[in-house]
Chains A and B, each alone.
Chain A
Amino acid sequence: MFILLKRIILAGWLAFWRQGALTLATVFVLIMTLSLVTSLYTFNYLTQFIIKQVQNKVDISVYFKREAQEEDILEIKEEIAKIPQVKEVEYVSHQKGVADLLQRHPELEDSVEETKDILNLACLNIKAFQSFQYASISQFLEKEPFKNFIEKIDYLEKKPIIEKIFYLTSKIKQIGFVISAVLAIVAFLLTFNQIKIAIFNLKEEIAIQRLVGASNWFISGPFLVQGLISGILACLITIFIFSILFYFLSPKLIDILSGFDLFDFFKKNFYSIFLIQLVTGMTLAIFSSLVAIRKYLKI
């Protein structure tokens, strides 16, 4: 058994080494496939990152009546934080509210000075997990005892834009998934076809192996080993290409990608990316070899 395994591995290695052009073509196609898989993985991460950033900017604000004291507002904040649909509640004090307003609109300084005793600019900014949850949060706050303190909830004003953002981000996710699935199928077919062509070129050799009495495993084993080596080599080359690419592209793309640091992402996810490439490369090569060779083992 051991001697058979040793011979299969050695034959696979020799075939890998000697069938230069075919091996090169297979490794090249595998590199293309793995690059596509890595790009899809990165694209998926990037999309999630941007979607999260956009969704994080979505919130509703609750404004309070003049007579509402800070303690009342903080108490309400505590209550709101207990609602399961609420992801985050941020308290903005009257002073901070005034400062923020003046920072955005310095021309309003005189008006703010005149009305500072009758206006309460303290507010609570609430973020929900999903867009549809804002309506129920808003309804909850319109009931007793909160409504006695609350001047206004800007949910209705923001509703169309919130729904639009969530609709768009969910569409982007769906489209991303469909594109990924289609490209993954294309990548698989590319690899499968390349390996099929490589094995087709050796069908005469397989026929001779059958005629001299080689068992199915003795014939297909070296092809599997060859596929395995091609998969590993393609994985190593792809990971090297991507590390160089991300290292140099990252500083240039960081602004375009809303602060997404490609190289940092690559470093943090190195083992996952490496594993995905390795498993994809090896599985594709072995599976394609097995399926392609089956046809020629029927002699």
Chain B
Amino acid sequence: MNRPGFFPVWQRNFLVWKKLALPSILGNLADPLIYMLGLGYGLGAMLPEIGGQPYIAFLAAGTICASTMNAATFEALYSSFSRMHVQKTWDAILNTPLGLTDVVAGELFWAATKSFFSGCAILVVVTVMGLTNGPLALFILPAIVLTGLAFAALGLIWNALAPSYDFFMYYFTLFITPMTLISGVFFPTDQLPGWLALIGAWLPLAQGVALVRPLLAGEVPTDIALHVGVLLATTAIAFVIALRLTRRRLLK
């Protein structure tokens, strides 16, 4: 018998999602678009160009990354927690030939997949609005994948530690929201004190922004290997930690 690995776990989640695909995509699209359009045109009207581009274009790149991050994070926290803790879906799977590595990897790739749908949906809207500049924008797709993977893996760490849904609020208020503000999503980080900008630059969201913003503007990003490397390393290290913590939680 062949060992099926993580794929059936991913497939299970995909099958559930397929039943509610359209409302799910629209729901994931509405919130970031409202912010992007509201801030982009409302606030943007009062702002000069940033780095030679209108504010709405600057913000579009940040929105693609932030909405990828949010989708991956929500899936790896709330949805994975439902499956692990409330529905006991993971327990059921662990009674089969699959192991915990398969389960957690399936969840990682699924959360990344779902965030890919979200990031792509924003990218499509941004393209329709005429904010892309040439075929380099296609390389935004792999950048979305890398960003989604990193945040899925980070979310799974918190999932493994969570006693209840309430616990996830801390993750947003202590990590996600501050990071969004210092990673150059809404404004350039050179507005920040030097030390804070430095911290922000190393956070995974900033790595995604550093890739997506130039690609959207039709330019080749600088330090590609560094940004890709940091995102991949974040994914790998966070996954190993998440797996270990989940093992301690479920298989003690």
User: Are A and B genuine complex partners?
Assistant: no
